[in-house]
Amino acid sequence: MWFKNLQLYRLPRPWNIDLASFEEQLARGPFAKCPSNQPLSRGWTPPRRDEALVFALNRQWLIALAVEQRLLPSSVINEEAAERAAAIEAQQGYAPGRKQLKELRERVTEELMPRAFTRRRHTFVWLDPINGWCAIDAASQAKAEEVIEHLRHCLDEFPLQPLHTQLSPQSAMSGWLAEGEGPAGFSIDRDCELKAIGEEKAAVRYVRHPLGDEIGGEIKAHLAAGKLPTRLALTWSDRISFVLSEKLEVKRLAFLDLLKEEAEKSAANADEQFDADFALMTGELSRFLPQLIAALGGEQSAAA
């Protein structure tokens, strides 16, 4: 139970909803297998091997959204529709019109949908109702919005807000790279991407490359030429490594091996392992996130 990405949002501090009420409202949208005539199904599923839709430990909550999708590529639909359109043309002596082709594709989709394979994925969400954190383990904002949409559908009220900092990540990362040093408590790692803001969007990427003096000079030249950082690999307190994006996304999140070993030593079975992993992960994130926000100049007020 270790998150690999963080899409970060803010809740009221504290968020005044009790656990029983929260779980009761989530039960309005449980997961069910995708019907044969539908392309997609989604809903809440127990994040742990029990029946509870919310896993709670040390006043930290974990939920999971399951999404099952039928895999029916448009190329398959178009190929079948083209064959049927050719047969209709041979029969009636002229090609089907636009409206007839559209109806034909819809009919093909309806017929093939029940025979399509399904793929299921899970997206986990960490909620800290005391300190007002909502973090979604999703690599893209689109996947996070999928979770938020279903939360808003199920909950009576969900006062979620985007996270905004005084300094934009791009501005902060530019300063760190120009100085050749990360902010207090952070060190710069070996991955970086810079992009020009012109129409061509010229990009320079350094992958697993020491960003020392020689490369540092190159990076400063790119910054002087108008390129801006879009991704930068960092390490916090020798405990968490990650990549910060221009959109304030935390990607490629990796926890120190020593932390995972500590969790493994304290666990006697799979359930205890899950508990230990979650407790250590949320404890580390609760210390890491405030320092990350401080490195970006602090949090903007809601009024701002």
Question: pLDDT per residue over 28-46, tens digit each?
Answer: 999 998 877 778 899 999 9
Is residue 296 a contact partner of residue 172, using CB atoms and an 8 Å limit? yes
Q: What percent of the chain has pLDDT over 90?
A: 59
Residue 42 within a domain: no
Say how many domains are in the chain: 2
Do residue 203 and residue 96 come from a single domain?
no
Residue 106 within a domain: yes
State yes or no: pLDDT of 297 exceeds 80: yes
Is residue 281 a contact partner of residue 1, using CB atoms and an 8 Å limit? yes
- Where does the chain have alpha helices with state H? 19-26, 74-92, 98-112, 141-154, 169-179, 213-224, 257-265, 270-295
Which residue range forms the structural domain that includes residue 251? 169-295
Residue 46 within a domain: no
pLDDT digits over 118-138, tens only?
788 999 999 999 999 999 999
The rounded mean pLDDT for the chain is: 89
Do residue 173 and residue 102 come from a single domain?
no
Which residue matches tokens 């969790």? 263
* Higher-pLDDT residue of 50, 212: 50
Residue 53 within a domain: no
State yes or no: pLDDT of 139 exceeds 90: yes
Do residue 110 and residue 186 come from a single domain?
no
Lowest-confidence region among 100-104, 136-140, 275-279, 280-284: 100-104
Do residue 288 and residue 219 come from a single domain?
yes
Residue 31 within a domain: no
Instruction: Report phi then psi at 251, rounded to 5.
Output: -120, 165
Q: In Å, how far from its chain's centre is CA 283?
A: 20
pTM above 0.75, yes or no: yes
Residue 249 within a domain: yes
Residue 128 within a domain: no
